[in-house]
Amino acid sequence: MLEARTTTGEPVSTRGADAVLTGRLFGPSDAAPCRAVVVHAATGVSQAYYAKFAAWLAASRQAAVLTYDYRDFGASARGPVKESRASMSDWGVHDQSAALDFLCARYPELPVWVVGHSLGGLCVPWHAQAQRVERVIAVAAGPAYVTRHPPRFLPMVLWFWFLGGPLLTALCGYLPGRVAGVGTDLPAGVYWQWRRWCTSRLFSRPDWGKAMPEPDLASVTAELCLVAISDDAMITPATVGRLADFYPAARTCYREITPQSIGVREIGHLRVFSEACKAAWPLLIGAEGPEPVSVEP
């Protein structure tokens, strides 16, 4: 197998709306890239988690691959999380758009892909250069709602959205991730907007034209690959299917990855980009997809 130019990538930064984002750019070691890929992270997940996937993608698909952290988080943090005024839409709309802009400017002649994990797959219709995108690979991404989880996950849902999550965020001025059960600290504005979306049957739609701009739903004519993880209790396969409503002009296909298919005991919501699950990586980005997904109303 080809090796990526480095396993850590070239440090890069880009200025978005009122924020400087810090990232890494990976590339093939022995040839010019033939495509450009931006990896939009899940909520509360550092770009470092995606580094081995990005290096593999650079080597195996001759791609220039950008990873980065959202404002006030990870390598893009500029001060205490308690002082952050960032919201979920800042991350999904403005920061993701800035990262895509950077990639398009750096590689104006190359086809562009988006690999979006969870939050990373939700917001392409808000991005200024969405029409440049040839393929959107949305992994474990969809409009979550409190009743769209298996029963075993409901105690966590109640704790996170209605008990511990709101109380901790109100008391601390940010969400203390380890105590709340999400691992990393999040700005209060990110948590409150995330909560509003996930406790509404309409998800983010009540914020359209208010807390976030109106999306251009017709702008994404790319191939949309919806990738579900069969044992993901946070974003179930059915919820992944509902994401097609946010991309009405896209050409949609659907894949579902099971732990058995890649030889592991479990994957869940976050593990699919880990090295332990690297057998799933070709399935995430495969050129062909199954039949178009049907979305329940």
Show me where the domains of the chain are located.
Answer: 10-143+214-285
Confidence band for 41, pLDDT divided at 50, 70 and 90: very high
pLDDT tier at 291, thresholds 50, 70, 90: very low
Q: From its phi and psi, is residue 183 left (phi > 0), alpha (psi between -120 and 50) or beta?
A: left
Helices (H), 76-176: 88-89, 96-106, 154-162, 164-172
Architecture, CATH, for domain 10-143+214-285: 3-Layer(aba) Sandwich (3.40)
Q: How far is CA 115 from CA 37, 41, 85, 121, 214, in A?
A: 7, 9, 26, 7, 22
- SS3 of 282, please? helix
Contact of 237 with 230, CB cutoff 8 Å: yes
Average pLDDT, the chain: 93
Q: What is the pLDDT of residue 274?
A: 98
Q: What is the pLDDT of residue 292?
A: 36
Question: What pLDDT is attached to residue 6?
Answer: 53
What is the structure's pLDDT at 1? 31
Percent of the chain predicted with pLDDT > 70: 94
pLDDT band of 95, cuts 50, 70, 90: very high
With 0-12 / 13-18 / 19 or more C-beta atoms within 10 angstroms meaning exposed / middle / buried, residue 176 is: middle
pLDDT at residue 294, rounded to an integer: 35
